[in-house]
Amino acid sequence: MYYMNRLSTKFILSAVLASATLLSFGAATLSAQATATATSTATKAPKVKAPAAPPPSAADIADATSKGMVWVNLNTKVYHKPGVPTYGTTKNGKFMSEADAQKAGYKAAQEPMTKGSKKTSTATATKP
């Protein structure tokens, strides 16, 4: 009988120890998940887009043209000179002087050729 009591005591202690270990592991896992969830929701701020600036009016474009300003496309980092179809029409842009545009790192746009202009070649072919 003494032997049985000793075995049952060991069994009960083992069971208690195992359940305590499992509970602490489960609590740690739940705590880590709760922390991760709280951190991810705290760092994700709702994205609010700034209202788009209204496109320039015909008067704004005429004024900028008279001042010799270029239209800078802020998305593509390219500027357009007056007289081309894209001048003042891109969605995200602004007017500035050509010198300021170049200082800011913007590049001149490669404007499409007009119908009347021909591509001239500087290289001449020579026959032997």
| Residue ranges per structural domain of the chain | 58-103
* pLDDT on residue 90: 86
Share of the chain above pLDDT 70, in %: 46
Residue 86 CB burial class (10 angstroms; 0-12, 13-18, ≥19): middle
DSSP-assigned letter for residue 112: P
pLDDT tens readout for residues 13-29: 565 555 555 445 555 55
Question: For the whole model, what pTM was predicted?
Answer: 0.49
Could you give the CA distance from residue 50 to residue 52 in angstroms, rounded to a whole number? 6
Could you give the CA distance from residue 13 to residue 9 in angstroms, rounded to a whole number? 6
* Residues in CB range of 108: below 8 A, 6 or more apart: 78, 79, 81
Question: If you search the block for the tokens 């894209």, which residue do you land on?
Answer: 86
* Residues in CB range of 28: below 8 A, 6 or more apart: none
More confident residue, 77 or 117: 77
Nearest in space to 7 (alpha carbons), one of 55, 37, 15, 70: 15
pLDDT tens readout for residues 54-74: 889 999 999 999 999 999 999
Q: Are 72 and 79 in contact (CB under 8 A)?
A: yes
Give 108's strand partners. 79
Chain centroid to CA 55: how far?
23
